[in-house]
Structure 1
Amino acid sequence: MPTEVRNNIALERFEITVDGEVAGYTEYQDTVGERAFVHTEIDPRFDGRGYARTLVESALNETRIDGLGALPMCRTVQHFIETTPQYLTMVPHWARDRLGLAQ
């Protein structure tokens, strides 16, 4: 099934659509230099298919392109960063310590 991730700026969230239907989202709040990811949710009908991973990876890639760091306040985003170390550099050092992430 075709998927697409887009930034819904009006709702401050990245959404993943499957066949045109919103299957999940990750909400964020932008600061001057970082994007805080505060909540991620996948509709139970789409659970277990890797959509959360696709969503978070796309959201972090766009965040990097936007020149922002990432604050993984949401457990889903934090887990993704913990298991995909190339994204750890996006998290400021001060936040890594507070969130228990590797330095």
Structure 2
Amino acid sequence: MSSESIEVRKNAALDRFELYVDGYLAGVAAYQDTAQERAFVHTEIYPQFEGQGFGRKIVQGALDQTHDEGFGILPLCPMVHHFVESRPDYLALVPQWSRQRLGLPQQ
């Protein structure tokens, strides 16, 4: 990646996180909140931004902000699921009760 400006912003009105690259909307990560968890239901990187690592950027930014807000994470979306299952620090944010149901490692 070059020196583009990358920002992940929460858009609470639309229940999604938005990824901006040089001011352009490059992708979204939709969620649904429960009392204690935030379920990520769909993540999409728009075609002109695919294949540049932006999926990882939006997922990491969204999960970091979610953790900072005190929510657990339910990775229902395949992109978020894949990100979480290979990173122990983020797997720890998934409630133990949901890991087996979601096919995630128990540890």
TM-score range (shorter-chain normalised) is over 0.9
CA shift for structure 1 position 84: 1.4
TM-score, normalised with respect to structure 1: 0.98
Question: 5 Å matches for 1:42-81?
Answer: 42-81=45-84
Structure number with higher helix proportion? 1
Instruction: Verify: 1:30 aligned to 2:69, yes or no.
Output: no
Q: Which residue pairs with 1:2 in the alignment?
A: 5
Q: Determine whether 1:90 maps to 2:93.
A: yes
User: TM-score under structure 2 normalisation?
Assistant: 0.94
Which residue number in structure 2 is paired with residue 39 of structure 1?
42
- Structure 1: give runs of 5+ residues left out of the alignment: none
User: Which shifted more, 65-74 or 81-90?
Assistant: 81-90
> 1:31-65: per-residue Cα shift (whole Å, max 9, x none)?
00000000000001000111110100010011111
Q: Deviations over 1:49-85 (max 9, x none)?
A: 1111010001001111100000000000000001212
CA RMSD of aligned residues (A): 0.6
Matched length: 103
Moved more, 33-42 or 85-94: 85-94
Aligned equivalent of 2:24: 21
Matched, 1:99 2:90: no
SS in 1 for 2:52: coil
